Amino acid sequence: MARIQVPLPAAVLLRTQIRVRVGDINYGNHLANDAVLGLCHESRMRWLAAHGFTELDAGGAGLIMGDAAVQYLAQAHYGDILEIEMGCGDIGRSGFELRYHIRRQNDGKSIAKIQTGMVCFDYTAQKITRLPTRLADILNQAELLSDGPLL
């Protein structure tokens, strides 16, 4: 069986740390698969908030997740501090890709690579809308350096 290969973020929009909580653990005593997307959501919300945005208003449009791909690489456990880097992939007329790399802080081990397809949405009209200029500008200003601000 061929496994998916999620590319790493080439340019960093956000670097943050999140400690694995008891609610993130499954019956196997490791980070649950659904919790990985929750960590991405928390990271995305921190990035949006740092720019004065929310998922309901990201510069003039709401955001919805149109798709997601997760490549699980290693286990994480309760109490582990995870470092999450989030960057941007392709940018389109009405949406963009966000790519995440989750690593365990104490040994640098890669835990997961994730890609989410974000779609700009007008919640009032209930339809897809264009990517706001202000949001596009921020996406295009990603740091090409490995060292960026920690949020």
Total residues found in the chain within this entry? 151
74-97 average pLDDT score: 97
Three-state secondary structure string covering the chain:
CCCCCCCCCCCEEEEEEEECCHHHECCCCCECHHHHHHHHHHHHHHHHHHCCCCCCCCCCCEEEEEEEEEEECCCCCCCCEEEEEEEEEEECCCEEEEEEEEEECCCCCEEEEEEEEEEEEECCCCEECCCCHHHHHHHHCCECCCCCCEC
What is the per-residue pLDDT for 9?
86
Annotated domain spans of the chain: 12-140
> Tens of pLDDT along 66-79?
999 999 999 999 99
Give the pLDDT of residue 149.
54
Determine the Cα–Cα distance for residues 7 and 113; give it in Å rounded to an integer: 7
Q: What is the CATH number of domain 12-140?
A: 3.10.129.10
pLDDT tens digits for range 3-62: 899 998 888 999 999 999 999 999 999 999 999 999 999 999 999 999 999 999 999 999
- Please state, in angstroms and as integers, the Cα–Cα distance from residue 132 to each residue in 98, 107, 111, following that order: 16, 39, 33
Average of pLDDT values for 113-117? Answer: 98
